[in-house]
Chains A and B, each alone.
Chain A
């Protein structure tokens, strides 16, 4: 089956909107409108610092509605600006939706996005050039919420400073993100998280100098694993069904085999290379990551959905089962060696987000993938303290540092090349 160009470009957006509709249905089945409304207020007024599970803060219904609103705004921003989807845009939409379960909300996303818009005007470049930044800058959303609602500044000073600081971080974010990518040579897929980590470290150092000391949180829901697992499997199966319905059967196996051979290093636009077959990859990754967390005894909640949606999203931009599984194996192994419970929040998230180093397994083989996963968990559980949870994509910061450390060593000492 061959799709017209227009249909091909609309499908990723329409599918996302269908997912948001499913969120709304689930929200209304699992919660009452009154609870949802009150929960949304609690979410918007929360500090949203890492780890703030919105399901625990606002309830399951309000969290799903928040994700649907945040996601719909993101899709609308792409459609209004006439941005054609590619692997990176599809990834960013999924990631952005996932983080609306734990840290990004309808209030704290706007100042940072406005900062990105302002830099495009300042540089006299079209906003389309900054589309990815606009979607992914939410890594610094806690900066806005923390300053607004932590209580260090009186109302409305806290909100004013929170919004201004959010706009400032959004303004500098694209420049920093463009430069950090060369630090890990594209072996860390979460480059925006790496950039966000650096900015958050700068912001926290200034805040602490002024006597403002944010504390990271550990708000973690354990009550809705069954319902949310059903939701994750439904979304994943829908992706596989979409991929199967749009891909030519004769070439499907060959296409998927070819995808599995890709290292996945930045910039691997699977949507351009493999077209609708990516949906099968994304769905398989969704089922795989959800199942691993469940088998491992973990919880499906806001933060883990963020991790699973991130993995699904990167199924269009570098990840596939072959380069993801070694990382998760190494990460799981590490959780049995470190001093925390293997199913603790930090360990569970590190297992999911360790897959940001998938290009290491894809390029250098599964053994290095296991090593990278192991190393990542150690980094992720410690670097959060550096920026006190202000960087939502903390695992991107950890992954970037791990890649900077590991990749030069692998390149220098591997024996399969003379040049």
Chain B
């Protein structure tokens, strides 16, 4: 898959921007990059996150992987100039696990190459 590094950087950028807009602070970010799989962990204190926000986040990030969308539109991911939409991130990852405990939001996103 082409542009692996660029796409991974944009995915993590969009996730950070989302948490930032939700009022997040104290960021812990981890990336594990293998040849065929990239895994992103982000853990952020977001005390004001509502159940509705959480539900919407889960629905968005658990969208089916859509390679044709990624092929055409990946270049606008990471471009959070306005009200951020994570829909493209959802289309570019294969799996997402989301946890919200004691005001700390933890997102694990997994992306397979190819």
Query: Quick one: given A86-B66, A182-B76, A267-B91, are A133 and B71 in contact (CB under 8 Å)?
Result: yes
B83 interfacial contact with A, CB 8 Å = yes
Interface 0/1 of B55-99, CB less than 8 Å to A:
000000001101111111111100101110101100100000000
A47 interfacial contact with B, CB 8 Å = no
Report the interface size for chain A: residues with CB under 8 A from the other chain: 33
Residues of A contacting B2 with CB < 8 Å? Answer: 123
Pair count A-B, CB < 8 A: 81
Please tell me if the beta carbons of A186 and B83 are within 8 angstroms of each other in the complex.
no
Closest to B87 in A: A267
Please tell me if the beta carbons of A132 and B76 are within 8 angstroms of each other in the complex.
no
Please tell me if the beta carbons of A178 and B71 are within 8 angstroms of each other in the complex.
yes
Please tell me if the beta carbons of B75 and A83 are within 8 angstroms of each other in the complex.
no
* Shortest distance between the CB of A130 and any CB in chain B (Å): 6
Please tell me if the beta carbons of A181 and B68 are within 8 angstroms of each other in the complex.
no
Interface size range of chain B in the complex: 20 to 34
* Shortest distance between the CB of B69 and any CB in chain A (Å): 6
Interface residues of A in 158-203 (CB under 8 A from B): 174, 177-179, 181-182, 185-186, 191
A276 interfacial contact with B, CB 8 Å = no
Please tell me if the beta carbons of B72 and A132 are within 8 angstroms of each other in the complex.
yes
Please tell me if the beta carbons of A269 and B72 are within 8 angstroms of each other in the complex.
no
Please tell me if the beta carbons of B68 and A411 are within 8 angstroms of each other in the complex.
no
A266 interfacial contact with B, CB 8 Å = yes
CA distance A174 to B71 in the complex (A): 8
Residues of B contacting A263 with CB < 8 Å? Answer: 82-83
* Shortest distance between the CB of A186 and any CB in chain B (Å): 5
Q: Which 4 A-B pairs have the closest CB atoms?
A: A182-B75, A129-B67, A129-B71, A131-B68
12 pairs across A/B with beta carbons < 8 Å? Answer: A84-B64, A86-B69, A89-B68, A128-B67, A130-B71, A131-B68, A178-B74, A181-B75, A185-B81, A266-B73, A363-B82, A411-B82
Question: Residues of A at under 8 Å CB distance from B?
Answer: 83-84, 86, 88-89, 123, 125-126, 128-133, 174, 177-179, 181-182, 185-186, 191, 263, 265-269, 272-273, 363, 411
Add 16 more A-B contacts to A126-B67, A128-B68, A411-B82 (CB < 8 A): A88-B72, A89-B68, A128-B67, A132-B68, A132-B72, A174-B72, A177-B72, A178-B73, A178-B75, A181-B72, A181-B76, A186-B79, A191-B73, A265-B82, A266-B73, A273-B87
